[in-house]
Structure formats: structure tokens, C-alpha cells
């Protein structure tokens, strides 16, 4: 696949600095001209000076002539050399320093067939089973959300006598005085007074039951991306989307904004779909409500996310399922190998999307690099991230907007980005830009709740 929605920005990538090598906006085109005039005046002055000095003495005049003319020739030589090298971005090093990731004060995991909740507290070794004392459903919901799940499905107390434990197993109990996940309220224990520990089940997400390895950019097998949705207006595929729950799909706000005068009943969502030619009229789930982020800006593409509430729930199966949201404080560093998928254009020159779902792997890039003068010149906000290749080998394109950018954490896949915008498709030095899902977690949870 190629990738993304065209962006109105037309600023070019400046080449390596040097007189006469600028690719700038029209109002900046006087710069190389004025510099040429400067050098021209300097040369004339030097020639006049040299002529006067020759009258005074040939030796002194020749020396001054060389001294004055030499600097004028040097820049053009270095410019030719710079044009032959790869484009360099001022202020961005090829090896950018990674920002330190602060350790979480308390982490959770759900372990084993009994779905036992375990916690790891800073400065305390190992994973601790959670005592039921002080536990409540609100904490269960917080834990599920901190792991990237949308909902709490079930929680209960399990008798310690009913499970096999190591003799060295330790426990942790939450203070009954406070009801949040702060580290200071979790107290390590040698045992649980009640003799019961917490078992927790969250909404299923991020699994690929039928996943198979396929080279990026080729057709996708059923079940490879079970959360991939097609958002259609009438019978026309308009954008991609990602399934979060049976009733909820996330897409890009600009997809809905472009057709905001359309009838709500004309929107449908198809999940478990690989080929659009297999779609029958009036299949798919009818959209009951469109909720764009209230701060969405059509001019800057900021806050480019929207939630679709479906009238009837999707039927989850091996080919239809939910993607996990980013876990709390989860960090995917630059270079992480993530995947984007969709039915968009497979070539920038094509006018129609692909009938078959396509995917490709794209590495995450740092915002510092993407905001440099060689790329998007500061257009990325904190609600955006970018992914792709500097040589433009793979990207998303028109028709992929709203679709998922997913990254793996072990065997679980998390929705890291929503396809948003970019300059052209697969253009060198213009990778794809995505809405950063981690910045919208509170809004997503609040809206779905």
C-alpha cells in the first residue's frame, strides 16, 4: 500500500545549506538573488582594488587579487558537494537521544488460567498477588484500562486454598482509605488476612487467532487484523476504522467532517472484511452516533479522532475482534516495527482504492525528526506521531484514513495511531502522520462510558 490523506501544506524540504540551493516559498526566492548580487559587488570591488595595487607594485597587487577572489569561489564548490550528499536537517542529529522513560510506580498483569491479578510495586522485587481486602469494582476498571482494555468484564475473590502457590509467594493489599492506583496505597504482605485473592477479567483485545505472516504491501488474509473496519457512506468505502468493542469503532475526525451533512443512517461499518467485492447491500452495522473530538481542527488536523457508536453490536469471532488501546504509560520507542492497513490507494497516481485489504510495516519516527525543516517544519502537535521511511518506500494513502497503526507488545497488539494526514503518498522525507491514541485515552474512556 502507499499511504495517507494529502495535506494542504506545500512547504518543500530545503537542501543542504549553501548559496543558490534553496527550495523555498516564493516569498523567499529573493535570498539566492541577493546573495549573488553581494558576491558580484565584492568581485568588482576586488578587481578595482587589484588594479590600483598593480600600479603601486605588481607583487602586492597580485597577492591582494588572490586574497579577494578566493572566498567567492569557495561556496559554489561546497554547494555541489552538499547537493550530492543526503539531505541533512538542521538541528536534528542522525542519532537522536532517547528521552528517559520513568518507571511506573505500580504495574499490573493478569496471569494464568484463573486470571489472577498480580501487581509489581517499585522497589519491591517480584510480582505480588493482590489480596481481596480493600478491593472494589472501580479499582478493577482502572486496572483494565491501565492495561489497554476498554472494560471490566468480571472480578471475584479466589480462596488461597484452591490454588497452588510457591512457598515464597508474597502478596499486596490496597489500603481501604484510598481508592486509586498510587504506589503508596499498595502494601506488601506475607499473607492475606481474608485468605482470598483477586481474579480479574477484562474485555478481550489485541489477539489475532488466525494471524499469518505476510510480506507488507500485499493482500491480507482473513483474521490477520480482526479489528480492521471499513467505514462506508452508502455503498462507498470512505475510511478505515478500528474496532474497540462490539458497539464502538474509532476512526479519524476528518472522515466524518468531510461528510457532516450526510444522513447518519447512510453510514455503515463492516468488520471481518477482506475484499469489498464480497459486500452485499445493507450488510454491515448501522452507525447510530458519530462523536468527533470536540477540539478537532480541520486546518491543523489536530485532535483528528472520532468514535462511532453502532446501533447493533458486532459479532466477535476469529475474524472480528477488538484492538487494545495503549497501556498506561506504555512507551513504543522510535524504530518500533508497527503495521498500518487499509483499502486505500496502492499507488499515488491511482484514482481508486484497493478492493483487497493491504498492509505494510512502518517504523515509528521521532517527532523531533518529523518536525524538522526537512519534513513538516513544526506542523506536528503533541497529539500526533509519524511513522514510515525517509526514502518513501511504504506509506498509507487516500482511503486509508481513520485506519489503524498497531504495534505489538508480546502477543498483544495496541492501537498506537489513527491514519490522519501527510504530504502526498510515500514521498521521500514526508512520512505518514497519525493521531496519537495515547493522548485521547481519557476522552475515549469517558465517551464510551
Strand partners, 243: 249
What CATH class is the domain 106-202? alpha beta
Q: Are 428 and 392 in contact (CB under 8 A)?
A: yes
Q: Are 241 and 403 in contact (CB under 8 A)?
A: yes
Strand partners, 418: 404, 435
Kindly state the cell numbers that stand for 52: 590600483
- pLDDT at position 50, please? 45
Q: Are 391 and 325 in contact (CB under 8 A)?
A: no
Lowest mean per-residue pLDDT among 136-145, 257-266, 270-279, 413-422: 257-266
What is the average pLDDT score of the chain?
77
Residue 75: pLDDT band with limits 50, 70, 90: very low
Catalytic residue among 254, 301, 414, 430: 254
Catalytic residue among 146, 149, 293, 304: 304
Domains 106-202 and 228-310 belong to one CATH topology: no
Task: Give the containing element (helix H, strand E) for 413.
Answer: strand 412-421
- pLDDT at position 426, please? 82
Task: Give residue-wise pLDDT tens across range 278-320.
Answer: 776 667 899 999 999 999 999 999 999 999 999 999 999 999 9
Cα gap 199→102, rounded to integer Å: 28
Mean pLDDT of 394-419: 92
Q: Are 365 and 386 in contact (CB under 8 A)?
A: yes
Cα gap 323→340, rounded to integer Å: 13
- pLDDT at position 331, please? 87
Angle (nearest 5°) at CA 436 between 385 and 246: 145
Catalytic residue among 146, 242, 341, 401: 401
Cα gap 200→140, rounded to integer Å: 7
- pLDDT at position 430, please? 92
Q: pLDDT at residue 67 above 60?
A: no
254 classed as catalytic: yes
Q: pLDDT at residue 56 above 50?
A: no
359 classed as catalytic: no
Lowest mean per-residue pLDDT among 180-184, 215-219, 382-386: 215-219
Kindly state the cell numbers that stand for 13: 524540504
Mean pLDDT of 351-359: 80
Task: Give residue-wise pLDDT tens across range 221-276.
Answer: 888 999 999 999 988 899 999 999 999 999 999 999 878 767 888 899 999 988 88
- Report the topology of domain 228-310: Thrombin, subunit H (2.40.10)
Taking the CB of residue 16, how many other CB atoms lie within 10 A of it? 18
Residue 186: pLDDT band with limits 50, 70, 90: confident
Percentage with pLDDT > 70 across the chain: 71
Total residues found in the chain within this entry:
449
Cα gap 445→376, rounded to integer Å: 31
Strand partners, 407: 414
- pLDDT at position 131, please? 93
| Residue-range domain boundaries for the chain | 106-202, 228-310
Task: Give residue-wise pLDDT tens across range 385-400.
Answer: 999 999 888 878 878 9
350 classed as catalytic: no
Cα gap 221→272, rounded to integer Å: 10
Amino acid at each position: 500500500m502507499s499511504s495517507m490523506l494529502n495535506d494542504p501544506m506545500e512547504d518543500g524540504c530545503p537542501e543542504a545549506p549553501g548559496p543558490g540551493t534553496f527550495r523555498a516559498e516564493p516569498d523567499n526566492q529573493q535570498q539566492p538573488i541577493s546573495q549573488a548580487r553581494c558576491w558580484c559587488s565584492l568581485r568588482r570591488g576586488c578587481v578595482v582594488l587589484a588594479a590600483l595595487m598593480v600600479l603601486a607594485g605588481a607583487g602586492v597587487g597580485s597577492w591582494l587579487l588572490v586574497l579577494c577572489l578566493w572566498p567567492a569561489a569557495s561556496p559554489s564548490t561546497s554547494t555541489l558537494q552538499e547537493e550530492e550528499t543526503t539531505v541533512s536537517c538542521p538541528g536534528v542529529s542522525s542519532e537522536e537521544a532517547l528521552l528517559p522513560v520513568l518507571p511506573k510506580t505500580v504495574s499490573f498483569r493478569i496471569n494464568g488460567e484463573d486470571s489472577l491479578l498480580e501487581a509489581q510495586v517499585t522497589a519491591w522485587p517480584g510480582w505480588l498477588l493482590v489480596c481481596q481486602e480493600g478491593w472494589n469494582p472501580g479499582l478493577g476498571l482502572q486496572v483494565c484500562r491501565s492495561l489497554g482494555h476498554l472494560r471490566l468484564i468480571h472480578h471475584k475473590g479466589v480462596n488461597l486454598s484452591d490454588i497452588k502457590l510457591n512457598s515464597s509467594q508474597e502478596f499486596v493489599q490496597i489500603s481501604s482509605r484510598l481508592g486509586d492506583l498510587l504506589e503508596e496505597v499498595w502494601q506488601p504482605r506475607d499473607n492475606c488476612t481474608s485468605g482470598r485473592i483477586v481474579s480479574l477479567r477484562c474485555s478481550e483485545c489485541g489477539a489475532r487467532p488466525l494471524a499469518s505472516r505476510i510480506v507488507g504491501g500485499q493482500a491480507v488474509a482473513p483474521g490477520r487484523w480482526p479489528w480492521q473496519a471499513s467505514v462506508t457512506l452508502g455503498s462507498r468505502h470512505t475510511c478505515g476504522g478500528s474496532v474497540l468493542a462490539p458497539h464502538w469503532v474509532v476512526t479519524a475526525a476528518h472522515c466524518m467532517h468531510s461528510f457532516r451533512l450526510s444522513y447518519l443512517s447512510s453510514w455503515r461499518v463492516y468488520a471481518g472484511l477482506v475484499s469489498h467485492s464480497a459486500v452485499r447491500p445493507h450488510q454491515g452495522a448501522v452507525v447510530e452516533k458519530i462523536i468527533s473530538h470536540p477540539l478537532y481542527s480541520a486546518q491543523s488536523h489536530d485532535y483528528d479522532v472520532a468514535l462511532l457508536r453502532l446501533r447493533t453490536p458486532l459479532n466477535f469471532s476469529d475474524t472480528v475482534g477488538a484492538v487494545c488501546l495503549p497501556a498506561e504509560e506504555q512507551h513504543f520507542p522510535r524504530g518500533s516495527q508497527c503495521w498500518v492497513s487499509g483499502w486505500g490507494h496502492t499507488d499515488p497516481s491511482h484514482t481508486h482504492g484497493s478492493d483487497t485489504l493491504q498492509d505494510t510495516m512502518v517504523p515509528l519516527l521521532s517527532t523531533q525528526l518529523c518536525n524538522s525543516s526537512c519534513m513538516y517544519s513544526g506542523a506536528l502537535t503533541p497529539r500526533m506521531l509519524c511513522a514510515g521511511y525517509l526514502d518513501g518506500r511504504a506509506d498509507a494513502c487516500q482511503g486509508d484514513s481513520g485506519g489503524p497503526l498497531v504495534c505489538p507488545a508480546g502477543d498483544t497488539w495496541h492501537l498506537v495511531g489513527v491514519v490522519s494526514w501527510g504530504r502526498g503518498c510515500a514521498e521521500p522525507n514526508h512520512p505518514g502522520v497519525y493521531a496519537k491514541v495515547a493522548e485521547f485515552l481519557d476522552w475515549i474512556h469517558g465517551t464510551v462510558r
